[in-house]
Structure 1
Amino acid sequence: MRLLRKFLVPIFLSTSAFGATEAVLVQKVMNDKAIIIRANRQSYLIEKGIGCLSLGRFEGKVVYINSSGLFLGVGARLLLPDVKQECRIWDSKSLGSVNRSTPSVSSGQPSALSSSGTKCVDGHWIQEVIDNGKIIKLEDGSLWEVDAIDAITSSIWLPISDVLVCGSRIINVDEGEEVTAIPLSRIAAGSGTAHSGKREYRIQASADDETFVVNDEVFKAKTYCFNMEKGDNVIFLSGSPLGSCVSAELLNMRTNKVCKVWCE
């Protein structure tokens, strides 16, 4: 499976095929500079060259660094997925490590977990990886929100991978990797029905796959959000149901799809 994963890393130009290509999280963008975080939680300030005009759109998302030798060494390049932009990294500076926060799992904890939250439960496997690793759906229907930095790792996990659920950790047995995650939903005993660990809001109105009314507030899709229908329940992964935000991410509990919206 590790061999298969190598083919999941996008190669934009022939120069990217040499050296190592590594996924990193963009924490903050400041014009031509950005703070990035590696999967080992080491953070860096980088300065990009010409060619990555859309970098600002990738704040909070995963991009790729191609280094011919040492990470961010001479000749390192920044690769932006989806938009297929590439540019030289002119300068970089280590900012040290980022502390791992341990989310609370006291509410909405899946029934398979012990009350202490420390017992590991096996027999689970990944049904679906959603929104570039930010959400993991297990075979029992439970949904888990992955720590933003750890989503670098889970973004290339494959469905049907066996996992252990250990409190606030999900361990991919096939890959020997783990992520920190909090439950968005749990399965009611014997019902087979998912119940949210966060408050759900009903879509009061939906128009043209781009305008939605939730909690008496209007939200506009950044791009078309298909199959978001009136009556569907959503969870706010980011932003505010009060509309007091610039943008928000809505998880549709019926379709398990994430809709990115502007707050009106």
Structure 2
Amino acid sequence: MDDGERLIHASSFGTAAASYAEHRPDYAQAAVRWALENAPGPRVLDLGAGTGKLTATLVAAGAQVIAVEPDPAMLAELRRSLPAVRGLPGSAEAIPLPDASVDAVLAGNAMHWFDMAVAGPEIARVLAPGGLLAGLWNLVDDRVDWVAGLARAGGSAAIGPRDTPAGWRAGTAGAHVPKTGAPARFGSPEQAEFPHGQRRTADSLVATLATRAGMLVMPAGEREAALVRIRAFLARTPETARGEFTLPMLTGVLRVRRR
């Protein structure tokens, strides 16, 4: 998408901040450990922190976390749920922190919204030498037949190419991180994937998918039609038709180190 579309999508989440906080998944703990592997210290910036989904996992892992989020409604949810965390207004392109003040910068389902031409130097500025930058994405595992059917029923607004393992690998292989070399001062990127899952019911999975940016920016009639298709699919699918089930997921991590 172009810059205008990206801005519209990125700014859509505040309209559904409470639903996002309630229904979006956390991140695989093993993925967070790998993202922080050999960081020079415990100071972590959660950048584009949203309502604190990744922040909470970082706190549980023992990190000293600062959260930065541009949307006031999302930041309010983060502060409500994690009052002990320092939550600041700001963006990847204008980080309200001093030079070399953190040992790692992590972004949960957010790095694809960054203007990395501007954000890359800002991230390099706040990172200590040897510090880590990592993006984490929760992916639905469409290698499972019923999940692939769900993706077809919902369409790309609900589950886009980047939301599945193969699409994520291709889409992040050379994107979303600062360019390597002297100007950006980052090394080569690494990718890894970690098993994850989310306990859902049909209703709560519909509510989860309704918080996707593509769904939030759709005209109301189109959005409701897409949600009706998803509900119908879940109602007729044995794995999801009755009670709780696990949505098979992976947490994908893209990691680079500051030189």
Q: Specify which structure has the higher proportion of strand.
A: 1
TM-score (norm 1): 0.25
Structure with larger Rg:
1
